[in-house]
Amino acid sequence: MEKERFTMLLLEPGEIFFEDYSAQMRFEGPSNSKNDWIEGRLKLCSKSLVFVNKDMNQPLIKIQLKETILAEICNSSNSLSGSNILSIECKTYVKMLEGNVLAPYKFVHKKTCFQLSFNYAKVEDCLSQILQLLRAATLPTAEQNAMIMAIVHSRQSRVSFDTSWLEDLYEQVVTEVQANKVLPLVVNPGRVLLTNSRIYFQPYNNMDQHPVLKIQLKDIKNVIKRRFLLRQVGLEIKWTRVPEGKPEYFFLSLNNQEDRDKLYSDLLKQSQVHLETIPQNQMTMQWQNGALSNYDYLLYINSLADRTFHDLTQYPVMPWIIQDYTSETLDLDDSNIYRDLAKPIGALEPERLERLKERYEEMSDPKFLYGSHYSAPGFVLFYLVRKYPQYMLCLQNGRFDHPDRMFNSVADVWKNVLVNMSDFKELIPAFYDTTNSGDFLVNGYGIDFGYRHDGTKVSDVHLPPWAQGPADFVQKLRNALESDWVSENLHSWIDLIFGYKQKGIEAEKANNVFFHLCYEGAVDLDTIRDINDRHGLEVQIMEFGQIPKQIFTLPHPKRQISSRDLIRSESILSSKKSSVDEIDSMEISLKELMSFQSHKEGVNCVTVIKEGAQSNNFVSVGHDGNLKFYSINCRKLTRSVVISSLPLSSCISYQISSQCNVIVVGSWDNNLIFYDVEFGKVIDSILGHEDAISCLAFSAINNVIISGSWDCTAKVWRTYTSGSKIKPAEYLVAQLDHDCKVTSINISRDESLLVSGTEDGELFLWSMETYNLQFNVKGHSAKVNAITFEPESKNIISCGSDKVLSVIDVRTSTQIYHKILEVEATSLMWIKSLLLIGDNSGNLSVWDPQAVKFISKFKCHNGSLSSIAVTSDNKNVMTGGKDRKIIVWDCD
């Protein structure tokens, strides 16, 4: 225990500490003599007086103002300082930390008179403040709180920031505002001063470790707007303490949203503030691709949803994962050990759910299934009482729970949340946080929590048989959280807690309906004028718990990576000593091998000729109507053919046999032109569309060619076979209609899906088996320039003339990533697991979808880079541009 035994957790939750006096105290009575004075300090607080005995083994005495009968100046001659004595008479007082042991407080229900002699202060000054707070204590709670806030505001208004605390005389003050420093159950008023190089917090009392907290703006890593007590007045600042490099958090609440928003905007305007924020969609992609663990992603989503470790009313929530707490061993490959993540806790047990539904049907509106929440301050401290007993004593007025109602056994708690009609609580991050080794499960302070009904003493939490101890228990839960089964199903729980099943019709379908007041925005407290009504609502909502802010309004994408892949990627990251925010990507370098300027006008498409294992020959088509052939091995242009008098938009290559390669060319004259590579001639053509052909794709598995056109269709054709004449009616397999010009098409690597993009920015997903439309979605606000599937065919990546790079989840049609690029992207091509992106300025950028960041950029062309091709061995990259050049690059 620290030397300073007094903390604000010894007060009521949210109570304000005002002043600290050097004083002596004695109990007035016939047995006392003038030598009975006790040395110590008096703490003047908004709802109590606390005397801290200098003797560490003697208890602290708390006199609650609501229990105080009289406070007056005592003119007794039997004093140390004449008439400078304060007399306090009360009905009840509280003894805390007796023997310097953390234990339930002792309430002494006895009329008692205390005398306090001040060493330096004048009793008149202290008495006037006490009498003001005594008047407040006679009021109903809501009115008392309002009067205390008025007193606090009045005191704050008379004080300004002491500029002598400024580190640099040349600092320029930007803004000064009243604010409260917030910790769990603790509010400490003060003043915030923002300068052009630091942010300062000066508390009105001496409770903080430092008289003034100083944070350099350059050390700030993140600034987040938060709700606090249901109002948009909170601000959380993450910063790094130098030189330790340890992350710290500073949570403020301001008087109103206007003050909060102004401080937020003023802070972000400062040139020294460089936030390390990652866009939400980028974090989702990192999680989806395995660069972020399930645990870290859940913490991130909690933060987005206003859940923070600094506010017990909005503490981060985690799911129960395991449902087996009786077996001797735990097999993470057995799906039967896992809880159904698609259902809320209250819907896991069918019989209980049926009883809840029966009660629901009998209710009048607004109805609710669950009369208790999955996260509330009491539930958080239920789990953490052994680690933070002082918080529970603060929350429950100096008492612990009845021993039989405490967190005694994991198996018992799980059984209770399954069958109890009023217990639906989920877990907290501590259950999966391996850095703390399960210390919250151990009675490390040796606190006497009492005895259960069967005579057993409450001590450490009883763990399931499969756990070898607290650290092993938490590690196995963490392993379960990161398992393949959870990775495949976690999106369902996210939908319930943070997503589209949180409220409305979808919540009703999912049996996920809670008491209406716990939903964000259900009540605007600022519009309620009656302070008693408002206080009643606040207490009700605080005790019940709050639904997190809704983050997702569409189904959350599913994770794509298995736990084995994740373990492998995490081992790579740890070997590089890289954090989640600083993921080292695969490096790539390009060196120009050769270049050709064989076209008279811009190059529209470059593609590799399919030649079995060899792919060192490629072709290009351009605006000049020419088809060109190149050999990388020979480093030269090998053939040039005039195909059409109009521009050629695209080309693909496929093999009929080992001796027969066919190049299919799309032309602005509406034709598909078939060219035999071996015989060096055009063998046939199809008038395939009513307008120019814009793009082509080929499916070897389905043996079809797909052409997209400005006539608003994509058509599927059987491939040409040697010696036969092409008849369009016989070769046409399907026609896929669109609402606008088709500008880009692509087939998934497993060739089960086809995606097409249009001039108005829409993306259409088709089944390659039935050619039925799976969905269409607005991916861009303008023309889709290029489109591709990621290697696992789980996402569609597209770029458009709106300068947006977009990623759409195939399963849910949800846009999971959206980034506005500096330059319009025009072409996309994969090289292993990296995406090459050509742009309108002739640059070739390399994007790592796992790290969700650009890792390099190369200048290739003067003007737009229109097409990219990659050899099958990934050793060479070919680029074509509007500058008429084709460049072959060695890729390392």
Half-sphere exposure of 561 (CA within 13 A, CB side): 22
- What's the pLDDT score for residue 563? 46
- What's the pLDDT score for residue 536? 77
What is the arithmetic mean of pLDDT over 332-336? 95
Sheet with 186-195: list strands edge to edge: 213-216, 198-203, 186-195, 173-183, 246-254, 231-241, 220-228
- Residue 568, pLDDT > 70, answer no
- Please, which pLDDT band fits residue 28 given cuts at 50, 70 and 90? low
Cα–Cα dist 75/291, whole Å: 73
- Residue 831, pLDDT > 80, answer yes
CB atoms within 10 A of CB 861: 25
Please give the distance of CA 642 from its chain centroid, rounded to a whole number. Answer: 56
Cα–Cα dist 690/68, whole Å: 93
What is the DSSP code (8-state) at residue 550?
A: P
Q: Are 133 and 16 in contact (CB under 8 A)?
A: no
For 559-692, list the strands marked E by DSSP. 590-596, 603-608, 617-622, 626-631, 636-642, 648-657, 660-667, 671-676, 681-687
Whether the link from the prior residue into 243 is cis, omega within 30° of 0, is yes
- Give 821's contacts (C-beta < 8 A, 6+ positions apart): 799, 803, 804, 805, 839
Length of the chain: 892
Cα–Cα dist 852/287, whole Å: 10
Which of 303-312, 371-380, 512-521, 695-704 bottoms out in mean pLDDT, i.e. has the lowest?
Answer: 512-521
Cα–Cα dist 854/842, whole Å: 16
- 159-277 CATH: 2.30.29.30
Percent of the chain at pLDDT above 70?
92
Cα–Cα dist 671/692, whole Å: 8
Cα–Cα distance list, 455 to 171, 443, 601 (Å): 65, 18, 92
Which of 288-292, 391-395, 667-671, 874-878 bottoms out in mean pLDDT, i.e. has the lowest?
Answer: 288-292
Pairing between strand 825-831 and 834-839?
Answer: antiparallel
Residue whose C-alpha is closest to residue 89's, from 65, 107, 106, 118 = 65
- Give 673's contacts (C-beta < 8 A, 6+ positions apart): 643, 644, 664, 665, 666, 667, 682, 685
Instruction: Say whether 458 sits in a helix, a strand or coil.
Output: coil
Residue whose C-alpha is closest to residue 678's, from 661, 693, 692 = 661
Q: Which residues pair with residue 284 across a beta bridge? A: none
Residue type at position 564: R
Q: Are 134 and 423 in contact (CB under 8 A)?
A: no
Instruction: Say whether 339 sits in a helix, a strand or coil.
Output: coil
Q: Are 469 and 438 in contact (CB under 8 A)?
A: yes
Q: Are 29 and 411 in contact (CB under 8 A)?
A: no
- What's the pLDDT score for residue 773? 96
The per-residue pLDDT for range 259-277, each reduced to its tens digit, is 999 999 999 999 999 887 7
- Give 320's contacts (C-beta < 8 A, 6+ positions apart): 339, 345, 414, 417, 426, 427
- What's the pLDDT score for residue 466? 97
- Residue 294, pLDDT > 90, answer yes
- Residue 871, pLDDT > 80, answer yes
- Residue 572, pLDDT > 60, answer no
What is the arithmetic mean of pLDDT over 360-376? 91
- What's the pLDDT score for residue 569? 41
Which residue has 């959350």 as its token pair? 556
The per-residue pLDDT for range 5-26, each reduced to its tens digit, is 899 999 998 899 998 999 999 8
Q: Are 429 and 318 in contact (CB under 8 A)?
A: yes
**Tokens standing for residue 729:** 């009616």
Please give the distance of CA 488 from its chain centroid, rounded to a whole number. Answer: 19
- Give, for 412, the enclosing helix (H) or strand (E): helix 410-419
**Tokens standing for residue 447:** 């606190």
- What's the pLDDT score for residue 1? 36
Cα–Cα dist 740/761, whole Å: 9
> b/e string for 442-464 if b means 16 or more Cβ within 10 A?
bbeeebebeeeeeeeebeebebb
- What's the pLDDT score for residue 82? 55
CB atoms within 10 A of CB 750: 12
- What's the pLDDT score for residue 658? 64
Domain ranges of the chain: 8-156, 159-277, 307-580, 590-891
**Tokens standing for residue 418:** 């399954």
- Residue 406, pLDDT > 70, answer yes
The per-residue pLDDT for range 579-610, each reduced to its tens digit, is 333 334 467 888 999 999 989 999 999 999 98
What is the DSSP code (8-state) at residue 783?
A: -
Global pTM value: 0.85
Q: Which residues pair with residue 458 across a beta bridge? A: none
Q: Which residues pair with residue 868 across a beta bridge? A: 879
Q: Are 591 and 888 in contact (CB under 8 A)?
A: no
**Ramachandran assignment for 801, one of left (phi > 0), alpha (psi -120 to 50 degrees), beta (any other):** alpha
- Residue 122, pLDDT > 70, answer yes
Cα–Cα dist 548/246, whole Å: 28
The per-residue pLDDT for range 433-491, each reduced to its tens digit, is 999 999 999 999 999 999 999 999 999 999 999 999 999 999 999 999 999 999 999 99
Instruction: Say whether 632 sits in a helix, a strand or coil.
Output: coil
Cα–Cα dist 762/800, whole Å: 10
**Tokens standing for residue 836:** 């090459």
Q: Are 110 and 92 in contact (CB under 8 A)?
A: yes
- Please, which pLDDT band fits residue 497 given cuts at 50, 70 and 90? very high
- What's the pLDDT score for residue 570? 43
Cα–Cα dist 552/372, whole Å: 24
- Residue 564, pLDDT > 60, answer no
Q: Are 726 and 676 in contact (CB under 8 A)?
A: no
- Residue 30, pLDDT > 50, answer no
CB atoms within 10 A of CB 300: 18
- Phi, psi dihedrals of residue 141, rounded to the nearest 5°: -50, -45
- 590-891 CATH: 2.130.10.10
Cα–Cα dist 331/476, whole Å: 10
Residue type at position 458: V
For 3-104, list the strands marked E by DSSP. 17-27, 38-45, 48-53, 60-64, 68-74, 85-96
- Taking the CA atoms of residue 15, residue 18, residue 23 and residue 25 in that order, the dihedral angle to the nearest 10 degrees is -30
The per-residue pLDDT for range 335-358, each reduced to its tens digit, is 999 999 999 999 999 999 999 999
- What's the pLDDT score for residue 583? 39
**Tokens standing for residue 172:** 């320029």
The per-residue pLDDT for range 471-483, each reduced to its tens digit, is 999 999 999 999 9
Cα–Cα dist 315/577, whole Å: 30
| Fold match, 307-580 / 590-891 | no
Q: Which one is predicted more confidently, 78 or 524?
A: 524
Residue whose C-alpha is closest to residue 215's, from 184, 188, 252, 183 = 252
**Domain at 307-580: CATH architecture:** Orthogonal Bundle (1.10)
Q: Is 872 exposed, middle or buried (0-12, 13-18, 19+ CB in 10 A)?
A: middle
Query: Which sign, positive or negative, has the C-alpha torsion 879, 883, 885, 889?
Result: negative
- Residue 651, pLDDT > 60, answer yes
Percent of the chain at pLDDT above 90?
67
- What's the pLDDT score for residue 578? 34
As assigned by CATH, the class of the 8-156 domain is mainly beta
Please give the distance of CA 796 from its chain centroid, rounded to a whole number. Answer: 23
What is the arithmetic mean of pLDDT over 45-63? 94
Residue type at position 429: P
Longest dimension (CA), the chain: 126
CB atoms within 10 A of CB 513: 21
Pairing between strand 742-747 and 732-737?
Answer: unpaired
Cα–Cα dist 176/157, whole Å: 12
Q: Are 289 and 849 in contact (CB under 8 A)?
A: yes
Q: Are 587 and 831 in contact (CB under 8 A)?
A: no
What is the DSSP code (8-state) at residue 322?
A: B
**Tokens standing for residue 365:** 């509106």
- Residue 382, pLDDT > 70, answer yes
- What's the pLDDT score for residue 562? 55
Cα–Cα dist 109/239, whole Å: 47
Residue whose C-alpha is closest to residue 132's, from 67, 42, 71 = 71
For the chain, the average pLDDT equals 89
